[in-house]
Amino acid sequence: MQSWLVMPDEVEPKILEWQERYPALVHVDHVQQYCGLKAYAVTISDKSVPDAEKKKHIFSQPHAHEPAPTAACMNVMNQLLERRGLDGNPTQLAVDALLSKTLLSFIADGNPDGRSRSPERYWDGTKWSNEEFWKWMRGIDAETGEAFKRVDRWSTREDHPKRIGIVYEQINEHEYVEPNRSWESSFFRLIHMLLDRHEYDQLLDLHQTEFVNSPSNCMVILPVLQDELPPEIRESNAAWAEEIVAAWATAGGHPRPEPRPLSYKGQQREYFVQRWGHIYRRLSKLTSEVQNNNVATPPLEQRRLTEIAIRVSAERLLR
């Protein structure tokens, strides 16, 4: 699919092309990974309008085994700049209003290291079972042959997986991190770079999950600290989540009807409290999930549902 840009050698040239062709609209930041690849943040806005007058949003994508959000970000950015999708079809976005009244930052691929090691450009459920898919995502434990553990950080000094999962980013000779669970990841380095520069209003973290034995193919997740947040942020999160769910339903998706906080317990929950707590309390923050590795939701539908979440999130800033 020519309009499906997800691999580092596809994403980087397009970002650099936009930077060169649209200097009045595009600002590019990057960090270099240990492997040598660069992770990019692309900010799109009309630079002739003062930033202080604009609402601001971050769209972020941390996981190499979840490519549809990368494809969606790349397609939406092309629509904002070219007024058409990567497939050539005209955009339905309110481009003029978005460029002049908002500042939109996209981390389309927060871990090109992991993505470069992926055996697939998309996961459609026809080739790999979910058990096999999870072994690509997390890696393979050398002793058990099962999926490797999921932690914020691990070292080859102590662990020797048979296969290193693509969810992880190598940060030095021996150590690997999961991007959205460690501040040392390229993903978080970019997020903190953006937050240090602008006072953002919203952040939508773009994900995919498999929805095993579920009638749903998309859902919105509220922060684990939702009930403890300031009232204005808590209310904004809830209203925004409902808008995304309603848009998915109208567009023929099968969303889980009630947005809920992240269901992780124990250590996995604590990662989010520790790494994301300061962001939860600063701005509205949601997570979108679209079905991955299932024939019920083909790749282009995965991208379409993700784009709907992006569009709703961006255009609500215009109100």
Q: Where are the domains of the chain?
A: 8-115+180-318, 126-178
- Residue pair 221/264 in contact by the 8 Å Cβ criterion: no
State pLDDT tens for residues 2-22. Answer: 899 999 999 999 999 999 999
What distance in Å separates the CA atoms of residue 225 and residue 206, rounded to the nearest whole number?
18
Residue 81 has pLDDT above 90, yes or no: yes
**Sequence-distant (≥ 6) Cβ neighbours of residue 305 within 8 angstroms:** 217, 218, 248, 251, 253, 290, 297
Does the structure show a pLDDT above 90 at 160?
yes
| pLDDT of 225 | 95
Average pLDDT rounded to a whole number, residues 54-67: 98
Q: Could you say which architecture CATH assigns to the domain 8-115+180-318?
A: 3-Layer(aba) Sandwich (3.40)
What mean pLDDT comes out for the span 227-235? 97
Q: β-strand 139-140 against 163-164: which pairing, if any?
A: antiparallel
Instruction: Transcribe 176-229 into DSSP letters.
Output: EE-GGG-TTSHHHHHHHHHHHH---SEEEEEEEE--TT-S-SEEEEE-TTGGGS
pLDDT at 138: 98
Residue of 120, 208, 130 lying closest to 166 (CA atoms): 120
Percent of the chain with pLDDT over 90: 97
Please state the φ and ψ torsions of residue 261, each to the nearest 5 degrees: -65, 160
